[in-house]
């Protein structure tokens, strides 16, 4: 029973680590079940030659559960974070008109020239525009009204 408990704990840790690469939730569930079963085998399968140190078992369990909880919390936080790359990042950002937008022309955004179409009429070179939408490599922009 003792070797089975050690194997189950090791298998549980391996499955939990494997979950970080798959993201399905299945490996984590199986890993937790194996880990708990391994601990139960160590507790109830003792022999006269091998005794379980309860404090060490509790310390390892708290460490593994705490690490898993921390990783799950950080993963959930990263999924809730707003996208910061790709075309989703462009919406609502400011750009500068480089050519006359009547209604099409070129704008400068973060050092890159983009083809753009104005939905708010003619925009003079040097005026600021806000990016409304991204269609492939063309930006739809609106003139920033000065107050």
**Model pLDDT for residues 37-95, shown as the tens digit of each residue:** 888 887 777 666 666 677 877 887 788 788 877 877 887 787 777 666 677 778 889 99
CB 35 within 8 A of CB 13: yes
> Do 60 and 7 have their domain in common?
yes
CB 126 within 8 A of CB 99: no
Structural domains in the chain (count): 2
- Using alpha carbons, select from 16, 62, 17, 19 the residue that is nearest to residue 39: 62
- How many other C-beta atoms lie within 10 A of the C-beta of residue 58? 11
> Do 97 and 137 have their domain in common?
yes
Which residue in the block uniquely carries the two structure tokens 């990263």? 78
Q: Which of 34, 65, 80 is the last residue of a domain?
A: 80
Structural domain including 18 reads 2-80
Predicted TM-score (pTM) of the model is 0.45
CB 35 within 8 A of CB 16: yes
> Do 111 and 46 have their domain in common?
no
> Do 18 and 61 have their domain in common?
yes
pLDDT score for 97 = 94
- How many other C-beta atoms lie within 10 A of the C-beta of residue 12? 22
> Do 73 and 102 have their domain in common?
no
> Do 72 and 10 have their domain in common?
yes
């Amino acid at each position: 029973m003792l070797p089975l408990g050690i194997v189950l704990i090791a298998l549980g840790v391996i499955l939990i680590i494997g979950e970080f690469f798959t993201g399905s939730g299945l490996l984590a569930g199986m890993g937790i079940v194996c880990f708990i079963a391994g601990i139960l085998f160590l507790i109830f399968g003792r022999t006269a030659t091998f005794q379980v140190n309860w404090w060490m078992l509790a310390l390892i369990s708290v460490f593994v559960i705490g690490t898993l909880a921390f990783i799950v919390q950080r993963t959930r936080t990263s999924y809730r974070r707003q996208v910061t790359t790709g075309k989703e990042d462009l919406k609502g950002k400011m750009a500068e008109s480089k050519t006359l937008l009547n209604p099409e022309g070129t704008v400068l955004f973060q050092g890159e020239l983009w083809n753009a179409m104005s939905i708010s009429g003619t925009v003079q070179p040097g005026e600021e525009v806000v990016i409304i939408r991204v269609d492939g490599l063309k930006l739809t922009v609106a003139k920033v009204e000065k107050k």
